[in-house]
Structure formats: C-alpha cells, structure tokens
Amino acid sequence: MSLNVVNLVGRAGADPDVRYFESGSVLCKLTLAVNRPTSKTDQPDWFNLEIWGKTAEVAANYVRKGKLLGIQGELVIETWQDSRTGTERSKPVIRVIRLDLLGSKRDDAAGAAGYTDYGSGGEF
C-alpha cells in the first residue's frame, strides 16, 4: 500500500504564474506560505505548487498574493541537470488535486469556493 497526500492551508506568496499550451493544457505555478503553530519564529514554510487543467484556470482567475488557500495534492520531486555545472538538481513540488479558496467575502470578493479536477494531474 502506498500513500502520497499533502494537505496545506496557507497564503499565496505571489500572483499565479499561468502558462497556456498549444495542446489546450493550462499550468499554474505559485508559492504557498504556511505558518507552523509550534514554530518559535515568524518565518513561514514555503511550498511550490503546480496546478493543472480547470483547477489552474480557477487559480488564475481568483488567486492573488495573500489569498488564503487550502490545497490537497501529492508530493513530487522534480529533477533536472544544471546547465551551468552539469550536476543533478532537485526540488519538491506539490501537484495540487484540490484547491479551496478560503476566507470571508470581506477578505475577497470571490468568497469561499472549492474546485477539484482529479483528471488533470498528468496533462503536459
């Protein structure tokens, strides 16, 4: 049995970076700042998010820097070869399956909403 599920609630660190592909796929990348209640510092943990398909379109339309988000996804380790040094590099990325726009209508005109697109995780 295997399990790879990540659940986070935090704030968008920047406006989404959205890319549209000729195939019709949509990719949205953004960062999420998550505070740890047990942390002695005020520094949040930062997570790189990758969102595909219709969920990416929702993020592109409604997420802005500072927006409170809830996400569910899977942890993926991206690897590549550094073009300058030739060394193998990697970074963890959360591939989002479910995106919840949190907060009150007072916080955001869009209000609270959620969107799940279970079929779009592998579109490239």
pLDDT in tens, 30-46: 999 999 887 777 889 99
- Are 28 and 59 within 8 A, CB to CB? yes
60 within a domain of the structure (yes/no): yes
123 within a domain of the structure (yes/no): no
- Are 101 and 71 within 8 A, CB to CB? no
Asked whether the CA dihedral 75, 119, 72, 1 is positive or negative, the reply is: negative
State which residues form the domain around 82: 6-35+43-116
- pLDDT at position 102, please? 93
Run of H or E residues at 35: none
80 within a domain of the structure (yes/no): yes
How many Cα atoms occupy the beta-carbon half-sphere of 48 within 13 Å?
10
1 within a domain of the structure (yes/no): no
CATH code assigned at 82: 2.40.50.140
In the predicted model, what is the mean pLDDT of the chain?
86
| Domains: count for the chain | 1
122 within a domain of the structure (yes/no): no
55 within a domain of the structure (yes/no): yes
- pLDDT at position 9, please? 96
